Amino acid sequence: MPKVPYAAYLRVYEPLAAFPEPERSHWAEYARRGRLPTAQDEAERALAGLGAVPLRAAPARESGDAFVTTVDGVLCVCPWRTRLRAWEALNEVDSWLLPEAVLDAALPPEVRRRAAEDYAGWRERNPDARPWIRSALWHVPVRWFALFTDEERAFRSSGGGAGGDGPPGLTYRTPMVQARRRVARGLRAVREAMPQGPLIEALTDVGRWLEEFHPRSLVELDYGGLVHTIGEDQLAADRSAAEVAEGLAALAADDLDRASRVYEELTDRWMAIRERQFAN
């Protein structure tokens, strides 16, 4: 059964020491469990609320689950924060590219209004809260690739999972210090070549988000459920991070023609993937 939804994820794993008590002890105990939930488990639990009666646009309580990994012997944790992310996603409904009638049928206006009120009240009590995970439906935002290099790319062919029958996968991982440095370098190149434009705003946004986390964190880009719509051959050939690096290098070298060509080819390819959400 394919993973749902068709989404990519940008995650930050913070070292255990970055969390205050009692949350630190909670995650330390959590990591010792025999089987930890997967990304598929997270998606299924989140989607379950859409089938609840009455319908819920966001979970009634925040998730106590997380993704866990070990970096150089240090336990690092990426809390799901599903409720917060659901609220934030509702603030971005205009970017979902759904006809209004379809959106209203899936999430009626009254349900969205109640969720917005709940979020506003919660945000007043938690002004500094931020998610450890960002998601993008049907595509990977170009700005995310600026955080990584092609050498950090990890492709897994189908059947390469622990059970020998898993789907293909594509991820990138890098230390936080490298991600921040690359964003700053890319932003400098873009600003010098084009003082104004959407890419400046996009890189600034992701850079500010990264600054919220511990400097010894790990940053991960996961193609997630997109692997079921891209196709394994195309996935194996995907070198988007390398293309973004090439385009930014061209900007830094004042080669605007090459930078424009690389950027257009990359965005056209991802737009073709994104438009598959409208396929019958």
DSSP-derived pairing of the beta strands 153-156 and 74-79: unpaired
Given a contact cutoff of 8 angstroms between Cβ atoms, the answer to whether 77 and 20 are in contact is no
Given a contact cutoff of 8 angstroms between Cβ atoms, the answer to whether 193 and 255 are in contact is no
**Angstrom distance (rounded) from CA 129 to CA 212:** 10
Give me the helix-helix angle, 39-48 and 82-90, nearest 10°. Answer: 60
Instruction: Please list the pLDDT of the chain residue by residue as tens digits (280 residues).
Output: 444 578 999 999 999 999 999 999 999 999 999 889 988 888 787 776 666 666 777 888 899 999 999 999 999 999 999 999 989 988 777 656 667 888 888 788 888 888 889 999 999 999 989 999 999 989 999 999 999 999 999 999 987 655 556 789 999 999 999 999 999 999 999 999 887 788 899 999 999 999 999 999 999 999 999 998 898 999 999 999 999 999 999 999 999 999 999 999 999 999 999 888 777 5
**Angstrom distance (rounded) from CA 103 to CA 7:** 18
- pTM of the prediction? 0.90
Given a contact cutoff of 8 angstroms between Cβ atoms, the answer to whether 219 and 210 are in contact is yes
pLDDT, residue 163, reads 52
Tokens representing 56 are 């819920």
SS3 string, 202-269, reads: HHHHHHHHHCCCCCCCEEEEECHHHHHHHCHHHHHHCCHHHHHHHHHHHHHCCCHHHHHHHHHHHHHH
